[in-house]
Chains A and B, each alone.
Chain A
Amino acid sequence: MEIKVVISPSGEVKLEVINAIGVQCLKATESIEKALGIIQSRVEKSEMYSTAVECEAVANGHY
């Protein structure tokens, strides 16, 4: 699994998780997101989940 982090001149951060398995993608970025601040958006690619419902529940619980 790889995470691409893009930091703008305002300090805004975009995280892109590549090649993760199941909920691993959310767990991987959760602590980084919490440490940074406010999540403005999260977009999940449709091909990513065989366990989509489970991942969605985790995402909702995050807010």
Chain B
Amino acid sequence: MSHYTSIKTQIKDIGILENTCRDFGIDSLLRHTKARGYGSQSIECDYCIRWEGSPYDVAVVRQQDGTYSLTGDFYQGHIAQKFGHPQGKTEMELNLGRLLQAYAKHTVLQQASQNNLGLLSQENTDDGRVILRLMAYSS
């Protein structure tokens, strides 16, 4: 027996987002600062993802429904170089795809561990997908 579910991932947990950023060599998210863009332009944000060598940041902005949006100045490809998915199709995927994918993976693994599910395997496919296999521990 089986079922399939398809889920559009939303950024809901800042702690998981911060853990995800560590995969990319970023220790912590900044608060009380604006995300930098081209020239002197900046974006108001609740959290700011900033990393060494980039003049642009990623803005993390809380939405009315409690989730967070990710945005930034994608000009010149600074953000894409750090977080973009080379096999992405949309602007978001091309600029922030690897971050979104890694956030989803962290969320799944955190929930798996809380629900007595172990990670059997992880595979990165040629077409850019990540496949995890989880198995329930026998009780």
A interface residues (Cβ-Cβ under 8 A, vs B): 1-21, 25-26, 28-29, 31-33, 35-45, 47-49
Contact = CB atoms under 8 A, between A and B. Distances in A.
B3 A32 contact: no
Contacts of B85: 9
B2 A20 contact: yes
B interface bracket (residues with beta carbon within 8 Å of A)? 35 or more
Given A7-B104, A35-B110, A1 B136 contact: yes
Interface stretch (B27-35, B45-53, B88-96): B88-96
Nearest to A34: B111
B13 to A, nearest CB: 7
Contact of B10 (A5, A7, A37): A37
Interface string B116-133: 010010000000111111
B1 to A, nearest CB: 3
B8 A40 contact: yes
B67 A37 contact: yes
Nearest to B100: A11
Nearest to B110: A35
